[in-house]
Amino acid sequence: DAMVIQNPRYQVTQFGKPVTLSCSQTLNHNVMYWYQQKSSQAPKLLFHYYDKDFNNEADTPDNFQSRRPNTSFCFLDIRSPGLGDAAMYLCATSRRQGYEQYFGPGTRLTVT
Amino acid sequence: GQQLNQSPQSMFIQEGEDVSMNCTSSSIFNTWLWYKQDPGEGPVLLIALYKAGELTSNGRLTAQFGITRKDSFLNISASIPSDVGIYFCAGPPIGADGGSQGNLIFGKGTKLSVKP
């Protein structure tokens, strides 16, 4: 089945230690998104890629960066995680912007 | 900017009950999406609506795209315990040309729990 895969599902990192989360998709969608979701809140968009065209939201902290080496893969890098960065990180894809998005299962990040 | 308001914020269900929730906006939308999120998982797309007045079903779920294009409703019939979770409505904002564009706007969700 075509899907969005996120690894790992659970990640523990130390305060200030860089961490990378990964996402892959078999849907062959053009657009990939990274969201941050904190408890009982709606997902908050961090970045999106339309093909190789990178777009970050105005309020995304500089501590967060992303890479999309090819159509299938996208990475979220957190350079110096703080306690406030503990959250669920969701990857999503869509055929085009403005179309429905399909989410992966998420990576739960814990910062100790 | 455009916002989506979901109500109720939370509700308790008893197995077998019908459930209704809605999503409203002060602006029009061309597309309405309904997602369900289980604890510790990503949101799953339940129903997508593309046309004003459209009524679409997915099993026990039925969703409608409001005629005014400013609201949408999701109904769950004969609820079961696995219906608990958070339901989000979402839609892409409308650009200057009247078409859907940009990234999804999400409501804050309706949390369904089981009555104690």
Whether A105 has a pLDDT exceeding 90, the answer reads yes
pLDDT tens for residues A19-28? 999 999 999 9
Q: Do B103 and A97 touch (CB under 8 A)?
A: yes
| pLDDT above 70: percentage of residues in chain B | 99
pLDDT tens for residues A61-93? 999 999 999 999 999 999 999 999 999 999 999
CB B93 within 8 A of CB A26: no
From start to end of B14-84, where are the E strands?
A: 19-24, 32-37, 44-49, 55-58, 61-65, 71-76
pLDDT for the residue A96: 87
Q: How confident is the prediction for chain A on average, in pLDDT?
A: 94
CA atoms of A77 and B66, how far apart (whole Å): 40
pLDDT for the residue B97: 76
pLDDT tens for residues A32-50? 999 999 998 999 999 999 9
Q: How many CB atoms lie within 10 A of CB A74?
A: 26
- Six-digit token string for B113: 């729990």
Confidence of residue B1 (pLDDT cuts 50, 70, 90): low
First vs last C-alpha separation in chain A: 36
Q: Within 13 Å and on the Cβ side, how many CA atoms surround A104?
A: 29
Residue in the structure block whose two tokens are 């219906």: B83
- Nearest Cα neighbor of A21 from A80, A77, A103 is A77
Q: CA of B62, closest CA in chain A: separation in Å?
A: 18
Task: Spell out which residues of chain B touch residue A101, defining contact as CB-CB under 8 Å.
Answer: 33, 45, 90, 104
